[in-house]
A and B are shown apart, each in its own frame.
Chain A
């Protein structure tokens, strides 16, 4: 049988072909004009389906003194009993003598998307009398995960999917003193923000009124004048002054997430500026539900009222959750991979002569350059 048009066509005079039309309309800088529809969008659908099928890993670390509600916060974030609380009876939690790191992994699923969540807790941090260098075990842990990934990456026969244990975000809990950042806070954030995404939060913010919160944030952002940690004069009257806020953070070389340097385009910048204005978030954690006005709400019940965790008028927990999970989760991972991990890799490659890649590089090992500018963002090969 013929595969051409049905027989009736042969009754009509053959169609006249059009003049061969130019198939490309004016080609703008963006590319050629299409005459019809190819269906490239389908690629995106494939990616989505694949992401959903594969599931993904997400690793966060919580740092702060004991009793600041870290575990409760994690449980509230992920709406499941991910972390065992130190306040529970039966948890033989004596304050460890040194900083211990404990990682717990859970697989949680939502609407067909699977997440392998690992939460690393740091009991003992800041709890000693002498807390000097208490950040060292944490820095060591973070670098160990980078090392692990690097070693997998340089193997001759690599895994198809390298397991990712790198810390994507480090939530740092600031006690709600209402005064200044303590030297420990400054020291920690300064060192860690160089190697990992640091998200500072004001913990147990329900002990602060709204005014006290605003004032505290202002101070956290601005920092005391003069010697670190020593206010030289009573705090200046509240006058939110954006350039100064950023400047003071920068003076201490503390670049918290979302870092300004990594905004990719004006849209990103606008979105992230709004977030940066509110950092650090004043959060309250709760894993108990209460009945309020006919609804079940997650919150803390006191004699003077119920503090609703998910109510933006009560605390900024929703902002933290949205940032970490709903909007910037992938970004946290991307920056970890493209910036922090790459910095680590460059340092290691520069140091070591014995890595398997050296014969291919043909590069003489360069002395590790002291980073004067923060690490730049680069597109991911993976």
Chain B
């Protein structure tokens, strides 16, 4: 099985051992989506993972929305691809930004994130650590409206409140309402405002020597990703693709020239592990230290 070349011990095989165990175990990942209603969050999630997480959707009318507070809805789906199992939990936050006075709408969200940390801390400190489930939020897609001129006050407040608790990935939704120039302008505006307010969004780790340095740079330069989602299949040039049909043409979801969807998906999938690690090593550890300090020894 292994060439017994002189001097070859064989521990270089360790990554394969880890690989094998990981495939058996599978992965868990929790993704939160936050943004005003109607920005295409659900459609985007479905497009990203090629699933239908919201089969029977009920969209409330305006009158109902007045009274609404933010809900937290988590749905879990198991995705398997080439033997690799992923247990994906998507945490949706309907009602965010709906109320006339949205002052408190992210309190519920913060509480949810903290609760997951609290639960994990409790499990980790317990006697029986056999069945610890990691429900902590590993990543939060924050949807920015393409209709404004950058970040809204609510966007700024939310991100400032959450950037110490979760990895924030800002996303410009419904990007097909913008031309390329308008997109670039909006992206720059958003980035400036993020930096102005000292908001810490998720940073991609530096590329390894053998990874595609250029690709990583391109990805980094595209943040915030301007995306389009679609649940519809349209026939274009003999192929069925996901897209949106307009009288003036078809917007293709998976066409990198049309939007950053592929970049977003690639980034998410290749950085799932890093997102989990940053959640564990940074956000969770911060929570834990604060919590333990408060309890006092």
A interface list, Cβ under 8 A from B = 1-5, 9-10, 14-18, 20-24, 30-32, 34-53, 56, 58, 77-79, 108, 110-113, 115, 156-158, 160, 264-265, 289, 296, 310, 321-322, 325-331, 334, 342, 346, 349-350, 356-357, 359-361, 363, 366, 376, 378-379, 381
Once bound together, how far apart are the Cα atoms of A3 and B27, in whole Å?
37
A-B contact pairs, 28 of them (CB 8 A): A1-B180, A2-B249, A3-B180, A4-B258, A15-B234, A18-B235, A20-B231, A23-B50, A31-B80, A31-B85, A36-B50, A38-B50, A42-B269, A46-B273, A47-B18, A47-B19, A47-B273, A48-B15, A49-B208, A79-B7, A110-B12, A158-B285, A160-B285, A264-B24, A321-B10, A330-B14, A360-B295, A378-B129
Taking CB atoms, residues of chain A closer than 8 Å to B51 are 23-24, 32, 34
B131, A379: Cβ atoms closer than 8 Å: yes
Taking CB atoms, residues of chain A closer than 8 Å to B2 are 326
Taking CB atoms, residues of chain A closer than 8 Å to B8 are 79, 110
Query: Which stretch of B99-107, B148-156, B159-167, B240-248 is in the interface?
Result: B240-248
B19, A378: Cβ atoms closer than 8 Å: no
Interface residues in B, total, Cβ within 8 A: 93
Taking CB atoms, residues of chain A closer than 8 Å to B273 are 43, 46-47, 50
Once bound together, how far apart are the Cα atoms of A319 and B13, in whole Å?
15
Q: Which residue of A lies closest to B181 (CB)?
A: A1
Which residue among B9, B78, B179, B297 has the maximum number of chain A CB atoms within 10 Å of its CB?
B9
Once bound together, how far apart are the Cα atoms of A18 and B296, in whole Å?
62
With A31-B85, A34-B51 already in contact, the answer to whether A342 and B129 are too (CB < 8 A) is yes
Taking CB atoms, residues of chain A closer than 8 Å to B27 are 40, 43
Taking CB atoms, residues of chain A closer than 8 Å to B203 are none
A2, B23: Cβ atoms closer than 8 Å: no
B17, A40: Cβ atoms closer than 8 Å: no
Taking CB atoms, residues of chain A closer than 8 Å to B251 are 3-4
A43, B14: Cβ atoms closer than 8 Å: no
B125, A361: Cβ atoms closer than 8 Å: yes
Chain B, interface SS category:
mixed
Q: Apart from A78-B9, A376-B130, what are 18 other A-B pairs with CB-CB below 8 Å? A: A2-B249, A14-B247, A20-B232, A31-B80, A32-B52, A34-B51, A38-B265, A40-B82, A40-B269, A42-B266, A46-B274, A48-B18, A113-B11, A113-B14, A156-B288, A329-B14, A378-B129, A381-B123
Once bound together, how far apart are the Cα atoms of A361 and B78, in whole Å?
32
Once bound together, how far apart are the Cα atoms of A43 and B81, in whole Å?
11
The listed residue (B4, B9, B231, B232) touching A77 by CB distance below 8 A is B9
- B53 CB, min distance to chain A CBs, angstroms: 9
Which residue among B25, B51, B125, B231 has the maximum number of chain A CB atoms within 10 Å of its CB?
B125
Taking CB atoms, residues of chain A closer than 8 Å to B131 are 378-379
The listed residue (B22, B232, B249, B288) touching A9 by CB distance below 8 A is B249
Q: Which residue of A lies closest to B228 (CB)?
A: A3
B179, A381: Cβ atoms closer than 8 Å: no
Q: Which residue of A lies closest to B12 (CB)?
A: A111
Interface residue B84 (Cβ < 8 Å from any Cβ of A): yes
Taking CB atoms, residues of chain A closer than 8 Å to B274 are 46
Which residue among A5, A56, A376 has the maximum number of chain B CB atoms within 10 Å of its CB?
A5
